[in-house]
Amino acid sequence: MLKTECANSAKRKLQEYGIDMPRLIKLIIITIVFHFSTVNLAFAEKVVPHTASGTFYPAAKRELSLLVDKLMAQVESPTFPGRVFVLVSPHAGYGYSGKIAASAYAQIRNKPYNLVVIIGPSHYFAFNKIAVYPEGYFSTPLGNLKIDERFAKALLESSPDIIAEPGAFQKEHSIEVQLPFLKKVLPDAMIVPVVMGDCTFVDCKLLAESLKKLIEGRDDVLVIVSTDMYHGYDYEEASRTDQATIEVIKQMQAEELYYGLREGKYQMCGGFGMVSALILAKELGHNKVKGVDYTNSAVVTGKKTKGNWTVGYFSCAINNKEDTFMLSPSDQKRLLDIARLAISEYLLKGKKVDLKEELSPLNVKTGAFVTLHEHGELRGCIGNLTSDKPLYLTVRDMAIEAAVGDPRFPKLTEQELKDVELEISVLSPLKKIDDVKEIEMGRDGVLIRKGFNSGVFLPQVATETGWDKEEFLSYLCQHKAGLAPDAWKDKQTDIYTFTAQVFSEK
């Protein structure tokens, strides 16, 4: 009864003001529809324009391309090989932080990443959640970068605190400034732009956990943290504060970094992204910070006096515990070409071909095996578990040895070479294990060593033979190391594992 009276009273009031109820309801519906349509329209523009060009970096394509090339040429070769998982890069104008950014991107040049998640702070839009741009392209004068819409959608669906908020990306230079470098070093990679607002430590953990669920098991995803460091008017304070911040990052102390940022002990405008990246990296077993480079605007301009505005710039890479190798398809093809050329030249002229490679991944000193197959059958396999030579020379030498030095087979002839297929295995460092349970069949190669006897199987042997672990180890002991079949059970026997990146001419 009361509800009916209230409804009738409200209806009379509306009529007094000349408002028709059906028209009001229709107006409300139109308003709601318009609201949601405008939200969708914000993402309807499939190509996000570049707004930082002309200020942070050149707007002209040729000028920008030459500048990025020049900056990349000024930095040293990557300080370590392997699986870079997190890259930290500054986002100031290229005249200030460009060389530090180049130092970061040199670590991933031509590596086989298919997806790059870029996490930046919000400089212009106030909110306290995490924003993801869900679709379309981000433009640069060098070309567009496509958003991985499937990954972005899955990330948005992982939590109500991760939202599609277009306002967070309008004029946001922390994302945009990374893109020309990215377009140069990984031209075909897709991106997922993420902007973090004023986040709690719980929010940082939430983003890390959501990314972990989507990334775990993949080896083609890179996370970029876009951040500058100290902002203030004291050059000496800038150096002290930034070095303390870098030390906390090197120690992978995510919680200490977060609360230190809140207290003003550390400074990073993209600090929340750094916190999330540290949590994520540790969860996925990446805990080695390398390739650290640093400067600040006072050093760049030469104005190292108190009272001048100073901003710190920092870059680094975080990879896994072991320096495993990740050669790009072009690196792999070059090594296969070197192996074939080395064999051909040796069979024709009886000497090793002279080579010099400038490409840094091929200069890393590590072990490698070269395997020859003729009509699908093994025709030779020789390699070194470790090497003090650059990788390309190790491959050259092992290719020749596999062709003419494997005692199990006659020397390869020039006529046979055209029918031979080459396979190369580039090895990780050896890791001693205490229990054979640590061996993962198909992933790990194994070295057995007891006294002066030793034998090795590459990881692919398990896959090719179909052996179980006991058969694998017994055959290795007896036929490769010259030991008793069960020598792997002996506590006096040392067992080492390694992984390999295997590629062939197939």
pLDDT for the residue 355: 87
Tell me, yes or no, whether 27 and 161 share the same domain: no
pLDDT for the residue 37: 40
Tell me, yes or no, whether 188 and 67 share the same domain: yes
Residue type, 267: Q
Residue 324 confidence (pLDDT) above 80: no
pLDDT for the residue 310: 96
Tell me, yes or no, whether 362 and 228 share the same domain: no
Band (335; pLDDT cuts 50, 70, 90)? very high
Residues in the chain: 506
Band (49; pLDDT cuts 50, 70, 90)? very high
Q: Stretch 250-260: mean pLDDT, rounded?
A: 96
Q: Stretch 151-171: mean pLDDT, rounded?
A: 95
* Residue of 4 and 310 predicted with greater confidence: 310
Tell me, yes or no, whether 153 and 292 share the same domain: yes
How many domains does the chain contain in total? 4
pLDDT (tens digit per residue) in 363-390 = 888 899 999 999 999 999 999 998 888 9
Residue 24 confidence (pLDDT) above 60: no
Of 396, 425, 454, which closes a domain?
425
Please give the structure tokens belonging to residue 393.
């020379």
Least confident of 12-16, 115-119, 177-181, 263-267: 12-16
Phi, psi (5° rounding) for residue 132? -125, 135
Q: Stretch 97-125: mean pLDDT, rounded?
A: 93
Tell me, yes or no, whether 227 and 106 share the same domain: yes
Tell me, yes or no, whether 379 and 392 share the same domain: yes
Band (35; pLDDT cuts 50, 70, 90)? very low
pLDDT for the residue 360: 64
Backbone dihedral region of 209: left (phi > 0), alpha (psi from -120 to 50 degrees) or beta?
alpha
- CATH label of the domain that carries residue 133: 3.40.830.10
Asked if 345 and 338 touch (Cβ cutoff 8 Å), the reply is: no
Phi, psi (5° rounding) for residue 319? -125, -170
pLDDT for the residue 323: 52
pLDDT for the residue 14: 43
Phi, psi (5° rounding) for residue 116? -125, 120
- CATH label of the domain that carries residue 418: 3.30.700.20
pLDDT for the residue 137: 96
Residue type, 162: I
pLDDT (tens digit per residue) in 291-307 = 899 999 999 999 998 89
Residue 18 confidence (pLDDT) above 60: no
pLDDT for the residue 288: 87
Tell me, yes or no, whether 36 and 72 share the same domain: no
Please give the structure tokens belonging to residue 444.
């790990």
Of 390, 425, 460, which closes a domain?
425
Cα–Cα distance between 186 and 105 in angstroms, integer? 9
Tell me, yes or no, whether 124 and 211 share the same domain: yes
Tell me, yes or no, whether 308 and 330 share the same domain: no
Query: Which DSSP state fits 270?
Result: T
Closest CA to 106 of 325, 255, 248, 293: 293
* Chain CA centroid to CA 188, Å: 14
- CATH label of the domain that carries residue 496: 3.30.1490.150
pLDDT (tens digit per residue) in 403-418 = 999 999 999 999 999 9
Residue 19 confidence (pLDDT) above 90: no
Element holding 118 (H helix, E strand): strand 115-121
Q: Stretch 150-158: mean pLDDT, rounded?
A: 97
pLDDT for the residue 320: 72
Tell me, yes or no, whether 173 and 244 share the same domain: yes
Band (21; pLDDT cuts 50, 70, 90)? low
By CB atoms closer than 10 A (0-12, 13-18, 19+), residue 138 is buried
pLDDT for the residue 78: 60
| Domain boundaries, position 432 | 428-506
Of 319, 353, 387, which closes a domain?
319
Residue 27 confidence (pLDDT) above 50: no
pLDDT for the residue 42: 52
pLDDT for the residue 187: 93
Band (141; pLDDT cuts 50, 70, 90)? very high
Residue 358 confidence (pLDDT) above 80: no
Band (4; pLDDT cuts 50, 70, 90)? very low
Residue 41 confidence (pLDDT) above 80: no
Contacts of 302 (CB under 8 A, 6+ apart): none
Alpha helices in 19-147 (DSSP H): 21-42, 61-74, 94-105
The bridge status of strand 368-374 relative to strand 420-427 is antiparallel
Least confident of 150-159, 255-264, 297-306: 297-306
Residue 254 confidence (pLDDT) above 90: yes
Residue 392's alpha-carbon distances to 102, 271, 406, 413, in angstroms, are: 25, 40, 20, 23
Please give the structure tokens belonging to residue 333.
């093809």
Contacts of 383 (CB under 8 A, 6+ apart): 367, 368, 369, 370, 398, 402, 425, 427
Residue 359 confidence (pLDDT) above 90: no
The proportion of the chain whose per-residue pLDDT surpasses 90, expressed as a percent, equals 73
Cβ-count burial 82-109 (b if 16+ within 10 Å, e if not): bbbbbbbbbbbebebbbbbbbbbbbbbb
pLDDT for the residue 81: 56
Phi, psi (5° rounding) for residue 225? -100, 120
Tell me, yes or no, whether 291 and 331 share the same domain: no
Tell me, yes or no, whether 398 and 457 share the same domain: no
Can you say whether the dihedral through the CA atoms of 177, 178, 184, 188 is positive or negative? negative
Can you say whether the dihedral through the CA atoms of 343, 344, 348, 352 is positive or negative? negative
Contacts of 20 (CB under 8 A, 6+ apart): 14
Kindly report the average pLDDT of the chain as a whole number.
89
Angle (deg, nearest 10), helices 21-42 and 2-16 = 80
Residue with tokens 């902002």, as numbered in its chain: 231
